[in-house]
Amino acid sequence: MGLTLAYKILESHLVSGKLVPGEEIAIKIDQTLTQDATGTMAYLEFETIGLNRVKTELSVSYVDHNILQTDFKNADDHRFLQSVAKRYGIWFSKPGNGICHQVHLERFAKPGKTLLGSDSHTPTAGGCGMIAIGAGGLDVAMAMAGQPFYLRMPKILGVYLYGKLQPWVSARDIALYLLSKLTVKGALGKILEYFGPGVKTLTVPERATICNLGTEMGATTSIFPSDEITYSWLKAQGREKDFVALSADEDAKYDEIIEIDLSKLEPLCACPSSPDNVKKVKEEAGKPVAQIIVGSCANSSLKDLLIVAKVLEKYKVHPDVCFEINPGSLQVLENLVALSAFKSILEGGSRVHQSGCLGCIGMGQAPPTNAISLRTFTRNFPGRSGTIPDFVYLVSPETAVASAVKGVITDPRELGEYPKIELPEKFIINDTLLLPPLPEEEAKKVKIIRGPNIVPLPAFDPLPEDLKGIFILKVEDNITTDHIMPAGAQILPLRSNLPAISQHVYKNVDPDFAKKALELKEQGLAVGIVGGENYGQGSSREHAALAPRYLGVRVKIAKSFARIHRSNLINFGILPLVFENPEDYNKIESGDKFVIKNIKSALVNGERRIKIEIEGKGEIFAIAEFTERERNCILAGSLLNLAKEN
């Protein structure tokens, strides 16, 4: 029986465990990436380990999220990150160089390698034949220290592509079609591996778009083969030496298979307010639009912006529309200029911003009140845009620019003949803002710069024998990390200051959450949270676990958890328990007192069934499905505590 590509790469990096779905495995990590919203904390965690230098083949620190410098906080973080990179042998991508996933695809992605990133969209590099996985910052810090990454072996879902996309239909539409089938939780515990003749019709940036949006389906990662298309991309980047041909065996056995006829797809959009609320663009056509943005790690490549430029050679942006462009990287911007496409974008009526995440992470670009905003972003969770309520649609660059010139949601096929797009055989490469690591002896002399907003991590106490406390919040299905730990221009700059950022936990759900939690913590009581299905979906931000832990949260019980958030909870000593009977969700209300007796002993003994006593309501049972390593981490109080013990 033949092997899948994902299996081959995992097998070549396997440190421990068996490649059987559901079994815990540990894999060697070749590369890591961080971005500034998660990186400050990741490097504070790495410092506590006490090494002189990272142990990976390559690690990169990107600044792309917190690039608005409205006061000293972000500027101080950037100086801290740059000095840390100098000190520990890390590449540093300065503000303005671009979005981490776009730059990594351009300059560092290597077929057959493993990449762990403190950003949920790290699987973007799967478009270049990598096993690239998003994780919490502490997991990335451990990988930089040379430790393997632990995960449960995913199932491998093969996506067989055949046919060819019709004009005005894009890679984004492939991902949206899959989202309509799988939903935001349908790929949990799975790797999406693309194969079939349709793969050859897609460029590396298009493949990267599809891998990027696999995150919104809950996938562990997504991957394309490395072929002649990959070679052409690497050659255009001056990196042909990094090419390795990789693919699944012809008789590879997949756990599941989905087939997609690319020729049958049409322009799609994700309607407010979830990435899986997918409809055909023509079904939404005619609705007035106030704001449209092309950008994000999913759709800000040169090809994406060239289609915008070509349309704006012929049309102007509608006067009632604010049309904004966020180039994915300095390289994209410079090549647009060289190809005379930037001129068309400007003269067509666009507003161009610096290369970075910007509105996708809620850092500016909030839409107006009661107005539709179309975005080529990754997520349209409620309020993520910075405006509440918001009406955000996720669309392709083709749909975005067509709607921009018409002033209403528009099926791009209405524009007629599809423009001819030709990518250069050799990109203009400018790595001025990409700083290489210092030699080790020189690096040891570097002094790390710390501003007043950079606060050391507190100590985390081990798990007590009994947990007695109150469930102070109950939430519904598909709660996101944006609900738990909001982003935005006011909160993101606090990522390196745990006491300050913890005041914003669940701020938009219950403004008094932090106050109530701290009061219970001071009384020696545990704080509990009740959730529904897919609790913690969305970004990899470990602050959605770290800040609640600081406030005294010790247990979360839900119907199911998103992968990265569950790992982050365990990393910081919070118990993620699953209802044995999902109907018991209805028995608990906010304010209910609870006791979990002998929980420490239960974990030490590897017990799976945990009794929770609810005052005045009797008892319910939850499942503690942990590996030995996960149990030890929770018992120790955090992964850092466990690492110090070992």
Q: Which residues are catalytic?
A: 64-65, 119, 379, 539, 541
Q: Which pair of tokens denotes residue 368?
A: 């107006």
Q: Are 208 and 301 in contact (CB under 8 A)?
A: yes
Distance CA 396, CA 173 (A): 7
Query: In angstroms, how far apart are the furthest CA atoms of the chain?
Result: 72
Distance CA 350, CA 236 (A): 28
582: amino acid identity, one letter: P
Q: What three-state secondary structure class fits 444?
A: coil
Q: Which pair of tokens denotes residue 471?
A: 């469930």
Look-up: residue for tokens 């405006």?
387
Distance CA 448, CA 431 (A): 24
Look-up: residue for tokens 């000293």?
72
Q: Where are the beta strands (DSSP E) in 206-329?
A: 221-223, 256-261, 268-270, 278-280, 291-294, 322-325
541: amino acid identity, one letter: R
Distance CA 338, CA 190 (A): 41
Cα separation of the two ends of the chain: 40
Look-up: residue for tokens 């606060």?
455
* φ/ψ of residue 225, rounded to 5: -65, 165
Distance CA 32, CA 141 (A): 9
Contacts of 375 (CB under 8 A, 6+ apart): 292, 293, 295, 296, 359, 360, 392, 393, 394, 395, 400
Q: Are 219 and 123 in contact (CB under 8 A)?
A: yes
Q: What three-state secondary structure class fits 317?
A: coil
Q: Which pair of tokens denotes residue 431?
A: 């790595």
What's 437's DSSP letter?
A: P
Q: Are 332 and 425 in contact (CB under 8 A)?
A: no
- In terms of Cα–Cα distance, which of 317, 405, 401, 394 is closest to 359? 394
Taking CB atoms within 8 Å and a gap of at least 24, the contacts of 621-630 are 621/580, 621/581, 621/584, 622/557, 622/577, 622/578, 622/579, 622/580, 623/577, 623/578, 623/579, 623/580, 624/575, 624/577, 625/578, 626/570, 627/24, 627/150, 629/24, 629/150, 630/570
- In terms of Cα–Cα distance, which of 392, 351, 357, 387 is closest to 375? 392
Look-up: residue for tokens 């776009």?
102
Q: Where are the beta strands (DSSP E) in 175-267?
A: 190-195, 221-223, 256-261
306: amino acid identity, one letter: L
